């Protein structure tokens, strides 16, 4: 069974003092998470502080983005080499907000994913359709294009190190999540594509998360779906107890006692 994973994406929230306090609360509330892995992705400015707070705990640290080059004249960017030096183990690539607000292309997302792999970071590749695309029946076309482009040129060995997140744009920050059936249908389709890109056996080992208005009251139902291997949590991760509750709901999918 694939171990559930819950990733907190704090987005552009949190001063250093706020980040330390939030990381401390999550750490203290999840001293021994069983049946689930947890990674926190704070803003770049808070990475060293959060890494210090979480050092020695079972909670990992990740980043929200990276550049595709290890160094260079790219003002305002952060390289995967820099992230690795800050104890990051995971990096989000291709988040819909990066695609929508900053014009990231599939080619750029692929470059970031391959750069992350080259620096021993685990890339979390995000794919998802807009509301208009879903209404036009283009969901599978969109996510297939993003998945194939994002993983282009990646070896089978490295493919096994990747994580995918299905995050429908119409559910992000709207309070309206995809139903478990909707999410599971798309994620099953994505796993089928991974079988084509690699093998059925390898595809069964790759975790596919769901992201989009995940909350304590829907996390358990979503994570009960066999194709949903955890959650990419945005706004709900900014409140420690809310995030902890989501983690415990996801842990129950892995057979653990959700109260631990």
Candidate list 37, 97, 129, 167, residue with the active-site label: 167
Got the DSSP string for the chain?
-PPPEEEEE--S---HHHHHHHHHHHHHHTSS--S-EEEEE--GGGHHHHHHHHTTSS-EEEES---SSSSSS-TT---HHHHHHTT--EEEES-HHHHHHH---HHHHHHHHHHHHHTTPEEEEEE---HHHHHTT-HHHHHHHHHHHHTTT--HHHHTT-EEEE--GGGTTTS-PPPHHHHHHHHHHHHHHHHHHS-HHHHTTS-EEEESS--HHHHHHHHTSTT--EEEESGGGGSHHHHHHHHHHHHHHTT--TT-
Q: Answer yes or no: 101 catalytic.
A: no
> Out of 95, 104, 225, 227, which one is annotated catalytic?
95
* Residues assigned a catalytic role: 95, 167
């Amino acid at each position: 069974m694939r171990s559930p994973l819950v990733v907190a994406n704090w987005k552009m929230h949190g001063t250093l003092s706020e980040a330390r306090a939030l990381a401390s609360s999550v750490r203290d509330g999840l001293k021994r998470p069983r049946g689930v892995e947890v990674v926190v992705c704070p803003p770049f400015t808070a990475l060293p502080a959060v890494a210090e707070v979480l050092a020695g705990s079972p909670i990992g640290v990740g980043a929200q983005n990276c550049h595709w080059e290890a160094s260079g004249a790219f003002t305002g960017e952060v390289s995967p080499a820099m992230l690795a030096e800050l104890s990051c183990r995971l990096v989000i690539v291709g988040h819909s907000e990066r695609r929508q607000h900053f014009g990231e292309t599939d080619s750029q997302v692929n470059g970031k994913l391959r750069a992350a792999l080259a620096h021993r970071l685990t890339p979390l590749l995000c794919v998802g359709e807009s509301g208009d695309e879903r209404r036009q029946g283009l969901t599978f076309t969109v996510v297939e294009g993003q998945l194939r482009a994002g993983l282009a040129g990646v070896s089978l060995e490295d493919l096994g190190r990747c994580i995918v997140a299905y995050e429908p744009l119409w559910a992000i920050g709207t309070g309206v999540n995809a139903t478990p059936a909707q999410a599971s249908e798309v994620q099953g389709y994505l796993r089928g594509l991974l079988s084509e890109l690699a093998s059925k056996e390898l595809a069964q080992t790759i975790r596919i998360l769901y992201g989009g208005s995940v909350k304590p009251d829907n996390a358990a139902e979503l994570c009960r779906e066999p194709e949903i291997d955890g959650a990419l949590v945005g706004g709900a991760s900014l409140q420690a107890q809310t995030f902890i509750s989501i983690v415990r709901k996801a842990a129950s999918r892995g057979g653990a006692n959700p109260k631990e």
